[in-house]
Chain A
């Protein structure tokens, strides 16, 4: 209860006064549980874990301030109004007043959540930080069928599709995509937007299963917030690259379900157009009238753009405008974005019919490649001789062009993840592709490095060396002071390395000697015992395991003095470590088995 109203006998402070259970909260807010749920979801209020659970362990506890926060939310009133409205409709229906019911249905009170988005994410970066769930949800719904029974409406699905495509188009256009991973669950993408790492999961582009044990109302409530959030984020992002939002798509492409491609083209075109305009405006800045005219023109660019973009982009991809545009943007970008932009530069990809088009349409342009596909609306046909790679996902390819390579789609994803153009021979049509590794795993930390990761590392190193100047080549230009400096440095380095090596040799010698000593000691022991002819024989034999024992003893002894709390912590840590070790051991054993099977087979 809030402070001003406290029932007699209620607590003033402590956990009993700070927290209330969910049913108490529902009663206090005078709403139904479903409305409370909606409120919580929209406001981002979650239960908390009080130190002392006054009402028992099986309750969900909310902080009193959270509940008050909900109480003062105007949305609460709107939700009540909706409930009242629903009652009106129901009444009209039961009185067979069809007209009234219909009219009421049309004018149902609605609410928008933009204010709540701002409230929950006061800065834009906050919103980006919390975008993972939002994107995953929107992408999931973009792939779901519309089901009347579950109130999944077609409009919502279309909106989700539109939003997800807009987001992808932005990422692709600004080359912010960093990592991709095809998993059994779907495709994971990771992008870096304004310094925030955003990861999302898109389901495979197939018919999705709608399980019956899922409460779609909850998901739709979440979706409502997420839609608003993503829309606002998209707006801001599009604004940042000077593109009008919401974008107007070429209806032809939209009809062909190539929305994403349409969007990218729109982005290209409008960015270019804005550049043209800005160039136009600058010289005419002195003339007030002309500027005004430009302004009026700006108001109706939508129609013009839709027509213009088609001509522009289809004419020649490497046109002058694009170059100018790219140069200007490159100054602003960081190293990684530059690398991503130029990763597939100069490569032309063609997708075969059976390849999942949507994902590749997103990924390849994000890394600077040109792309086309089999079907209508494609930018260039299969017979184009400048195509360098054709992406094929079938066991055999009958008709082949010699000028291009036929690779499996996994090749693209692997190349992107490891930022190196991998040799295509292992990914050719009909081959068993090498394992697809997760880019999100730190192999060293995990303890087990898959074989293919090592191969890739070698390739990466090789790729880097090619770019670096060879050390032997710099010898003839000694005159250059910078080079001289470099050489001096190098000489020093060599010296240091020599020293290190010597040290290492010495150390090794020392170790060897130690070992020798130990062995001789054992030998002595042995001789002593043999002389004594006593029953101490087994004692001498024990000396080898004794070393292990000593180590163990040292460990135990340090544990003797630890307080109980710390000892328990230590033990827990050890259990965790052991589990990890066991997992790695299992992996290594399996690997060994596989290798053996390969050798014998």
Chain B
């Protein structure tokens, strides 16, 4: 309305201002612009800034007057005239002002006044006291009695009860229905055009009417055509829901046996595990864990903890819904589509069938089974034991520095030498007519006569042990420089002084040669001494790693040296390496040669025993693992098909090891007996084992300073 009025006025204003001057024109134009944008009151304010003529601005002025009246009235009201205030009310058209608000605090949260005695201030600035509160019962009773209570509303703001009139309720009802509040208001009045285009001299736009206003739209018709076509083709359907036709039919109608699954070989998913007794709602008592056991489960890491703990419910009715029902099914779904499937062969065999079938031990008799005698006398661990070739005597060397000779059958100690140093090894000369004893202790090797020989032999031995030039080094022999042959006055024998600790000794079968082993002798670690000529030779082969043990071939001129890793076989005549045996164990501790010479056993420090067939391969024919701890010694029997191993776990194993002359037949290896009896001392058990040369008996030397004889 206002803008309308103003635009109507503008031409007149312009005329006036033209006469007055350009400045004013500019000013009025600005005003018009503002009028277009701004609200009416602002216009009025701005217009008061300019000097308009009274005639032109009649309306405005009159309204200004009204405003003045207002202010005047207000000042009057301060005086307290109630009549004037009613006038104001009549003038304003907003319904809110019909009743003057008693309270002047404005729209603040009323809880600010919750604890105060007043609810606000009236127009005069006086406190409005709160009314006394009726208690709820009374108010309820009052409301029950009062038939008009339903149209009473409590006005919190003014702290008073307002009774709605019929008009009010009608109005509210109309508002709730979403209609205009007054019944006489017509929202659809005919529109009264306030401005006609046609006759104006200067229309806003003088452009001719465009063509598109007169012809039907091309795009609309295209769209319509498209829709029509879509309807016809059935692309757009107006039936609300597509019909749910049941397309059930017998899929397996032609259930021929030829029907096969397409695609790659299908692995069916395993079925879920069927429940056991413990899953029952009322399980048997033994399936329910006690409280302590449940508490103990808390200590187990969560992934190892059993998923299900049995529980008992008094009745079926009291069983609750299983809270993991959905989760478990979900887990199953995940397994079905995410879990890689593979066919696993389940081995369903009797564990007994895994064990090899061994020939009966009864058929392989005789072999040592029971402890028959114990030879006691040593003070320290017995490190080495050796049997004389006739089988009447044994000799033993101990850590306490003594060497003893025993009678086998009675256990009588015949002789004792005190060497002074821990004895590493004792070996009898293999010739029965030369009962000499070779002893390795510290850096020395002693060759002693035992006094078991007959008188004829005695001379021969004495001759053998005589050394013409005790300490004179032989210049011609270059090896003599590091080994000295000398007489040992104390014990009556020969003493060979080495430059390093000697760890093991070995007689040649003819009793003339003696090999010694010094692990730290480097290039001169393996030496061969000739007793008859008192000569010493070095084995001219290179070794890799520390030598551990050496052995002569029983009937050919072949020499075995085992280092910690492998066993090297040398031909002494041709002076070359024949073979290298690779046991593939951690550390070789000892070797034994079969009396036939073609088979070697190797004991290792991880308790493994390797049997090599030299004709077959350089790898073991069989690897046995009898012991839990280091094998200390292995040995063959000279005549019986027996071999044994002894170890630090205080046991000795006796095996049957038959070698056939037929090359097509593999050796037969059967474990026969576990010999126990030795006690452990300092973590060491059985230190040495030797077979009796004629009988199937076994001597074992233990760290508990006892030698035991096991007989069949």
The residues of A with any CB-CB pair to B shorter than 8 Å are 37, 40-41, 44, 46-49, 60-61, 63, 65-66, 69, 103, 106-107, 112, 114, 117-120, 122-124, 126-127, 129-130, 132-133, 136-137, 140, 144, 181-186, 188, 199, 203-204, 206-211, 213-215, 218-219, 222, 231-232, 235-236, 239, 245-246, 354-356, 393-394, 408-410, 432-433, 435-438, 440-441, 446, 448, 450-452, 549, 553, 556-562, 564, 566-567, 569-570, 573-574, 587-588, 590-591, 594
A450 to B, closest residue via Cβ? B284
Are B671 and A49 in contact, with the CB atoms below 8 A?
no
Are A185 and B277 in contact, with the CB atoms below 8 A?
no
Contact of B341 among A48, A114, A436, A556 (CB under 8 A): A48
- A sample of 13 inter-chain contacts (CB < 8 A) reads A46-B338, A63-B264, A122-B261, A130-B268, A132-B271, A133-B336, A231-B248, A436-B280, A451-B284, A559-B355, A564-B625, A570-B351, A574-B351
* A-side contacts of B315, CB under 8 Å: 393-394, 408, 433
- B319 lies within 8 A of chain A by Cβ: yes
Complex CA–CA separation, A231 to B671 (angstroms): 66
Are A235 and B286 in contact, with the CB atoms below 8 A?
no
- With A49-B340, A118-B251 already in contact, the answer to whether A440 and B284 are too (CB < 8 A) is no
Contact of B248 among A124, A207, A232, A450 (CB under 8 A): A232
B308 to A, closest residue via Cβ? A184
Are A209 and B321 in contact, with the CB atoms below 8 A?
yes
Contact of A47 among B272, B286, B341 (CB under 8 A): B341
Are B274 and A440 in contact, with the CB atoms below 8 A?
yes
* B-side contacts of A210, CB under 8 Å: 326
- With A124-B252, A594-B285 already in contact, the answer to whether A133 and B332 are too (CB < 8 A) is yes
Q: Chain B 229-271 against A: per-residue CB contact (8 Å), 1 yes, 0 no?
A: 0000000110011100011111110010101111110111101
- B317 lies within 8 A of chain A by Cβ: yes
- B157 lies within 8 A of chain A by Cβ: no
Contact of B321 among A208, A211, A408 (CB under 8 A): A208
Are A46 and B341 in contact, with the CB atoms below 8 A?
yes
Complex CA–CA separation, A231 to B249 (angstroms): 10
Q: Chain B 477-511 against A: per-residue CB contact (8 Å), 1 yes, 0 no?
A: 00000000000000000000000000000000000
Are B671 and A438 in contact, with the CB atoms below 8 A?
no
- B105 lies within 8 A of chain A by Cβ: no
- Chain B contact patch, size range: 35 or more
Are A562 and B355 in contact, with the CB atoms below 8 A?
yes
Contact of A438 among B266, B280, B332 (CB under 8 A): B280
- B618 lies within 8 A of chain A by Cβ: no
- With A118-B252, A144-B326 already in contact, the answer to whether A203 and B280 are too (CB < 8 A) is no
* B-side contacts of A218, CB under 8 Å: 330, 333-334, 337
- With A182-B316, A437-B277, A566-B354 already in contact, the answer to whether A560 and B323 are too (CB < 8 A) is no
Q: 3 closest pairs, A vs B, by CB?
A: A122-B259, A440-B274, A435-B284
- With A69-B263, A211-B327 already in contact, the answer to whether A183 and B669 are too (CB < 8 A) is no
Are B262 and A119 in contact, with the CB atoms below 8 A?
yes
Q: Least Cβ distance of B357 to chain A in Å?
A: 9
* B-side contacts of A47, CB under 8 Å: 338-341
Are B279 and A438 in contact, with the CB atoms below 8 A?
yes
B240 to A, closest residue via Cβ? A106
Are A123 and B259 in contact, with the CB atoms below 8 A?
yes
A68 to B, closest residue via Cβ? B263
Other than the given A208-B325, A355-B316, 6 more pairs (CB < 8 A) read A118-B251, A132-B271, A236-B251, A561-B671, A562-B355, A569-B354
Are A184 and B311 in contact, with the CB atoms below 8 A?
yes
Which residues of B391-444 are within 8 A (CB) of A? none
Are A437 and B237 in contact, with the CB atoms below 8 A?
no
Best-buried of B263, B271, B623 by chain A (most CB within 10 Å): B263
Complex CA–CA separation, A450 to B284 (angstroms): 7
* A-side contacts of B670, CB under 8 Å: 561
Complex CA–CA separation, A559 to B628 (angstroms): 13
* B-side contacts of A188, CB under 8 Å: 274-275
Q: Least Cβ distance of A122 to chain B in Å?
A: 4
* B-side contacts of A122, CB under 8 Å: 259-261
* B-side contacts of A566, CB under 8 Å: 354
Q: Least Cβ distance of A136 to chain B in Å?
A: 7
* B-side contacts of A355, CB under 8 Å: 316-317
- With A354-B317, A558-B356, A590-B285 already in contact, the answer to whether A239 and B250 are too (CB < 8 A) is yes
Complex CA–CA separation, A125 to B246 (angstroms): 24
- B23 lies within 8 A of chain A by Cβ: no
B309 to A, closest residue via Cβ? A184
* B-side contacts of A594, CB under 8 Å: 285-286
Contact of A185 among B314, B325, B625 (CB under 8 A): B325
Q: Least Cβ distance of B702 to chain A in Å?
A: 15
* B-side contacts of A564, CB under 8 Å: 623, 625
Q: Least Cβ distance of B629 to chain A in Å?
A: 14
B674 to A, closest residue via Cβ? A553
Complex CA–CA separation, A448 to B285 (angstroms): 13
* B-side contacts of A441, CB under 8 Å: 274, 276-277
* B-side contacts of A117, CB under 8 Å: 251
Best-buried of A432, A435, A549 by chain B (most CB within 10 Å): A435
B268 to A, closest residue via Cβ? A130
- With A140-B326, A203-B321, A557-B671 already in contact, the answer to whether A436 and B281 are too (CB < 8 A) is yes
* B-side contacts of A245, CB under 8 Å: 248
- With A46-B339, A123-B255 already in contact, the answer to whether A65 and B280 are too (CB < 8 A) is no
B627 to A, closest residue via Cβ? A560
- B183 lies within 8 A of chain A by Cβ: no
Q: Least Cβ distance of B377 to chain A in Å?
A: 14
* A-side contacts of B332, CB under 8 Å: 133, 136
* B-side contacts of A204, CB under 8 Å: 319-322
Q: Least Cβ distance of B274 to chain A in Å?
A: 4
Are A183 and B281 in contact, with the CB atoms below 8 A?
yes
* A-side contacts of B236, CB under 8 Å: 103
- With A69-B262, A222-B336 already in contact, the answer to whether A114 and B246 are too (CB < 8 A) is no
* B-side contacts of A124, CB under 8 Å: 252, 255
B313 to A, closest residue via Cβ? A184
Are B287 and A587 in contact, with the CB atoms below 8 A?
yes
Complex CA–CA separation, A106 to B313 (angstroms): 49
Which residues of B274-306 are within 8 A (CB) of A? 274-277, 279-288, 290
B236 to A, closest residue via Cβ? A103
Are A214 and B326 in contact, with the CB atoms below 8 A?
yes
Are B275 and A438 in contact, with the CB atoms below 8 A?
yes
Q: Chain B 662-676 against A: per-residue CB contact (8 Å), 1 yes, 0 no?
A: 000000011111101
* A-side contacts of B626, CB under 8 Å: 556, 560
A432 to B, closest residue via Cβ? B314
* A-side contacts of B364, CB under 8 Å: none
Q: Least Cβ distance of B248 to chain A in Å?
A: 5
Q: Least Cβ distance of B511 to chain A in Å?
A: 36
- B329 lies within 8 A of chain A by Cβ: yes
- With A60-B340, A410-B316 already in contact, the answer to whether A450 and B671 are too (CB < 8 A) is no
Are B255 and A132 in contact, with the CB atoms below 8 A?
no
Contact of B325 among A120, A203, A410 (CB under 8 A): A203
Are A236 and B336 in contact, with the CB atoms below 8 A?
no
Q: Least Cβ distance of B321 to chain A in Å?
A: 4
Complex CA–CA separation, A182 to B260 (angstroms): 38
Contact of A591 among B268, B286, B351 (CB under 8 A): B286
* A-side contacts of B242, CB under 8 Å: 106-107
- With A183-B275, A235-B248, A354-B317 already in contact, the answer to whether A435 and B340 are too (CB < 8 A) is no
Are A435 and B248 in contact, with the CB atoms below 8 A?
no
Q: Chain B 621-649 against A: per-residue CB contact (8 Å), 1 yes, 0 no?
A: 01111100000000000000000000000
Complex CA–CA separation, A69 to B264 (angstroms): 9
* A-side contacts of B286, CB under 8 Å: 448, 450, 587-588, 590-591, 594
A592 to B, closest residue via Cβ? B286
Contact of A48 among B249, B262, B342 (CB under 8 A): B342
* B-side contacts of A559, CB under 8 Å: 355
Are A127 and B252 in contact, with the CB atoms below 8 A?
yes
Contact of A409 among B316, B320, B671 (CB under 8 A): B316
Complex CA–CA separation, A207 to B326 (angstroms): 12
